[in-house]
Amino acid sequence: MSTVFIALQTNEETRPIIEAIEIDNPKAVVNRQPAMVKIDAPDHLVIRRETIEEQLGRAYDLQELQINLITLSGNVYEDEDTLTLTWNS
Amino acid sequence: MQIDLRTVSIEPQRNAFDHLVRRFGDKPASRYQEGSYDIQAAENLHYLPTWDPEQQLYDASITKVAMKDWYALKDPRQFYYSTYTLTRARQQDTTEANFSFVETRGLADMMSPELREAALRLLVPLRHAAWGSNQNNTFICGYGYSTVFTQPCIYHAMDNLGIAQYLSRLGLLLGDVEALEAGKKAWMENAAWQPLRRYVEDSMVVRDPFELFVAQNLALDGLLYPLVYERIVDDYLSVKGASAVAMLTQFMAEWFDETRKWVDAVLKVAAAESDQNREVIQGWISLWSDRAAAALVPVAEIVLGKDADEAVAEQIAALKARVQKTGITI
Amino acid sequence: MDMKVAKKKLGMKERYRALTRDLGWEPSYQSKDALFPYVKYEGIKVHDWDKWEDPFRLTMDAYWKYQAEKERKFYAIIDAHAQNNGHLNLTDARYLSALKIFLQAISPGEYAAHKGFSRAGREFPGVGTQVACQMQAIDEIRHAQTQIHAMSNYNRYYDGFHAFADARDRIWYTSVARSFFDDAMSAGPFEFMIAIGFSFEYVLTNLLFVPFMSGAAYNGDMATVTFGFSAQSDEARHMTLGLECIKFMLEQDPDNLPIVQAWIDKWFWRGFRVLGLVSTMMDYMLPKRVMSWREAWEIYGVENGGALFRDLARYGIRPPKGWDDAEKAIDHMSHQFMLGLYQWSFGTSLHSWIPPEEDMDWLSAKYPTTFDKYYRPRWEHIKKLKAAGTPFKNFGLARLCQCCQLPSVFTEPDDPTMACHRETVYKGEKYQFCSDGCKDIFEHEPEKYIQAWLPMPALFREFGGDVPAWMDWVSLRDGSDNGDYDGSRDQKHFNEWRNLATSNR
């Protein structure tokens, strides 16, 4: 088992994103630190555009993640609807 | 009872970094200055490149142009990353609105098929020429000397990628995926495009950063942009009813107007430095602009037909006048 | 009647391909070798550049849009920080030593990366790879500039920042980072990508940035926090470029494996040595600490590095050769280097100090197997000497490692009581190293490393050992930039100004 993670800035914009990640990744652990939120998950983490849109109340382009992303770990796969992090371990 | 207030005030100890005080005097420096002067390693380099041991890692001598101080080649726009990006973001907002306008109102379909075809045949292959410019400006940034000279070149390179992408989107909007395929085929095979493609490929083996600056940013783009975006798009296609094309290429026209000021400023200072510099630069301009002009005639013919020769000749005259203002006579 | 043909709706991947890959073409008028002269000599075999995968398919319009938004936020905060005398919010001005190292040694690396990625953005024959490298090149000048801008206000009030440009090229500890980047830039394009794109930007980047930026947050340095998190979002793209690079090379041809493995071994070790500066910053220079270097290593080194190398095992890659020696050094290196900086503080453009009692207790707790046994006694001894009026100062000069250029302050991996020293003779000259890792690197490419400009020998060669003349040359102001924090102008000013801001006395 390998841990993938994503870290986001702590601000109003990332709140719905973090909520969406928690909804779509039941095994994820959310770590809140000053200025940063780090979300760990075993082997695999998926971010879904649709879930974010439900939390946010507007259309969302996954590329907007760029603005508040701090760092991540894992192989990245991206399409219009999802961003996935995985380790093959 | 008297209470004595301590009068320690928070006094700055200095106005600016040492290297900026040496250059500009003891006063606060601008963000452009802080981000551009003397931030490149200058001495005590550790290893010679294994990819070319004849060069240093940062080497002013790989060009025939000689400057006592390469930091004299200031960009009049004073672009550093932030001001550059903010400027382009505003422009891209406008471009998005323009594309959206053309698309939602079906302006492409309102153009006559002949005009639409002409626009596609002229503009879509130019996305490859823009990629050539991206490559060349990336080279100049990588191997040129001094941040002041090289920094604008990476911005210019990314601008050219942006232009190539706008031209690609124009092709998709006016014509779909087939238009891109046809444009590439024309770039590779049609007689009209071969002199230009040859020019671009020949420029890509030039390893003198300043010569390449002249060949790409002055000699070629200095003719191509006004020819295509003013003379043909504005003065011909729009007049005949294809003003949607002008909307889709507004960025290119404005960009050229902005960037020529930078190109001219660099040439002016470099040429004024010495007679040798002026002669070398003059030789390059003559050589490359002759070739560029010849290469652009068949391209202009795509839309202008027999008027192409005259249109190109006008641009050559305009280029001569422009260059004259930098202190160089060609 | 016009028949409107429905336009094909392009998926994200196809659209990106149309807007990037498709821009390039096979040349006819010049050979590919003439256009790309540097891609064969390293022996890496690429059969199909089209197999390159682009994660984060950013077109220029999106790039400008998102980056502009980051820039607006960043400068708004920097401006507010300066206007509000944000420096007075620092826990303590000792913290600034960390920033001084950063500006002198690490920011120049950002600029070097900008140049290196510009070159890579031209020299690779694959459009997807080139575009990703170019975006990194422009990001890196962003980082260099935003760092300088973030620290500019500190320069107005505190010492040690003013001559970062001179320090970069001339002072001794900066050559650690500078030689690292020069090494990468003088390597070929493929090695450059493994060195910086993969080893530095993927394996090691989180060790540098996350704890350090969190440290800035904990210590009231809003300017650096803002820079750090703003820049880190670019880093996510850089990391994916680095990972894609190594996967691409390994998937293109099995013959690439031993070459890539050798580079991983070399660059892990060189990068680890550069991080020696970071370990000291984390353990000693943050008045309010986030976590220890050891803790950061566990999360970002062991856990994350472990996951990465388990993933890459399918290609035949094994963890870097020096990993075990690195692990053995974790509980020692920050202390060894701080002791070094303290004893040579006459020659640093930053302050060091004897850790106060509560700092030493924290270090004991975080390093239960090493601090009290090996390092507290040395600090206590130094403390006694200072109290007696004979502070410990070493005016002798450090022997620098020929490879990493750190002073040889490290000990044997298996014996912390033995100084670690290695030697080799090449063409009649003796060369000295801090470790097996550095010696191995030298012996693989001796012709390269004998060229290095070592600052300490240069001091003797150029200045005949004349320290004041040397200080002049590196623009170090004796009595203000250097020495103990205790009794410094920075300490005096910070306390006076803070007092002014918080009391009416």
What digits encode the pLDDT tens for the residues B158-189?
999 999 999 999 999 999 999 999 999 999 99
pLDDT at A38 over 50: yes
Number of Cβ within a 10 Å radius of residue C2? 6
Q: Which pLDDT belongs to residue A89? A: 66
Q: Which pLDDT belongs to residue B3? A: 47
Chain B meets chain A (3+ C-beta pairs below 8 A): no
- Percent of chain C residues past pLDDT 90, beyond the cut: 81
Asked if A87 contacts A41 with a C-beta cutoff of 8 angstroms, the reply is no
Q: What is the mean pLDDT of residues C278-302?
A: 92
Interface of C with B in 168-207 (CB under 8 A): 168-170, 175, 178-179, 182-183, 185-189
pLDDT digits (tens, 9 = 90+) for B118-144: 999 999 999 999 999 999 999 999 999
φ, ψ at C247 (rounded to 5°): -65, -45
pLDDT digits (tens, 9 = 90+) for A3-34: 999 999 888 899 999 999 999 999 999 999 87
Tokens of B291: 């070739």
Q: Which pLDDT belongs to residue C363? A: 98
pLDDT class of B309 with cuts at 50, 70, 90: very high
Distance from CA of A77 to the nearest CA of C (A): 6
Closest-CA residue of C relative to A87 is: C311
Tokens of A40: 């760990």
pLDDT digits (tens, 9 = 90+) for C223-279: 988 888 888 789 889 999 999 999 999 999 999 999 999 999 999 999 999 998 889
Interface of C with B in 469-498 (CB under 8 A): 475, 489, 493, 496-497
pLDDT at C384 over 60: yes
Tokens of C285: 């220079």
Asked if B215 contacts B206 with a C-beta cutoff of 8 angstroms, the reply is yes
Contact between C157 and B12 using a beta-carbon 8 Å cutoff: yes
Q: Which pLDDT belongs to residue B17? A: 98
* Complex ipTM: 0.96
Q: Which pLDDT belongs to residue B6? A: 47
What is the overall mean pLDDT for chain C? 93
DSSP 8-class letter at C43: -
Q: Which pLDDT belongs to residue C205? A: 84
B43 touches chain C (CB under 8 A): yes
Tokens of C447: 């012709």
Most confident of A4-13, A66-75, C403-412: C403-412
Asked if B199 contacts B290 with a C-beta cutoff of 8 angstroms, the reply is no
Contacts for C416 with CB less than 8 Å, ≥ 6 apart:
C332, C370, C374
The residue ranges of every structural domain in chain C are: 70-353+392-502
Distance from CA of B270 to the nearest CA of C (A): 22
- Percent of chain B residues past pLDDT 70, beyond the cut: 97
Q: Which pLDDT belongs to residue C202? A: 87
- Percent of chain C residues past pLDDT 70, beyond the cut: 98
pLDDT at C385 over 50: yes
Q: What is the mean pLDDT of residues C389-414?
A: 91
Chains in contact with A, counting 3 or more C-beta pairs less than 8 Å apart as contact: C
| Topology classification of domain B79-324 | Ribonucleotide Reductase, subunit A (1.10.620)
pLDDT at B7 over 80: no
Decide: helix, strand or coil at residue C422.
strand
Alpha-carbon span B237 to B253, nearest angstrom: 14
Q: Which pLDDT belongs to residue C214? A: 84
Alpha-carbon span C84 to C101, nearest angstrom: 25
Asked if C189 contacts B51 with a C-beta cutoff of 8 angstroms, the reply is yes
CATH 3.20.20.70 fits C70-353+392-502, yes or no: no
Q: Which pLDDT belongs to residue B121? A: 98
Q: Which pLDDT belongs to residue C6? A: 58
Interface of C with B in 279-298 (CB under 8 A): none
Contacts for C211 with CB less than 8 Å, ≥ 6 apart:
C282, C290, C291, C293, C296, C300
Q: Which pLDDT belongs to residue C503? A: 74
pLDDT class of C54 with cuts at 50, 70, 90: confident
Decide: helix, strand or coil at residue A47.
strand
Number of Cβ within a 10 Å radius of residue C414? 9
Contacts for C471 with CB less than 8 Å, ≥ 6 apart:
C347, C477, C478
Q: What is the mean pLDDT of residues B302-321?
A: 97
DSSP 8-class letter at A32: E
pLDDT class of C396 with cuts at 50, 70, 90: confident
Q: Name the residue among C12, C132, C116, C122 with its Cα closest to residue C60.
A: C132
Global pTM value = 0.96
Q: What is the mean pLDDT of residues C333-357?
A: 96
> What is the 3-state composition of chain A as percent helix, strand, coil, each rounded to the nearest 5?
30, 45, 30
Chain B CB contacts of C475 below 8 Å: 18
Contact between B49 and C10 using a beta-carbon 8 Å cutoff: no
φ, ψ at B143 (rounded to 5°): -110, -10
Alpha-carbon span C498 to C99, nearest angstrom: 19
B16 touches chain C (CB under 8 A): yes
Decide: helix, strand or coil at residue C290.
coil
Amino acid at B97: A
Chain B CB contacts of C106 below 8 Å: none
Q: Could you give the domains of chain A?
A: 3-86 (3.90.56.10)
B58 touches chain C (CB under 8 A): yes
Asked if C485 contacts C491 with a C-beta cutoff of 8 angstroms, the reply is yes
The beta-carbon neighbor of A67 closest among C13, C70, C206 is C70
Chain B CB contacts of C65 below 8 Å: 89, 92-93
DSSP β-bridge partners for residue C415: C412
Q: What is the mean pLDDT of residues B62-88?
A: 98
pLDDT class of B193 with cuts at 50, 70, 90: very high
Q: Which pLDDT belongs to residue C2? A: 42
Q: How many CB pairs under 8 A join B and C?
A: 257
Q: Which of B23, B46, B92, B107 to mutate to test the interface with C (most CBs of C within 10 A)?
A: B46
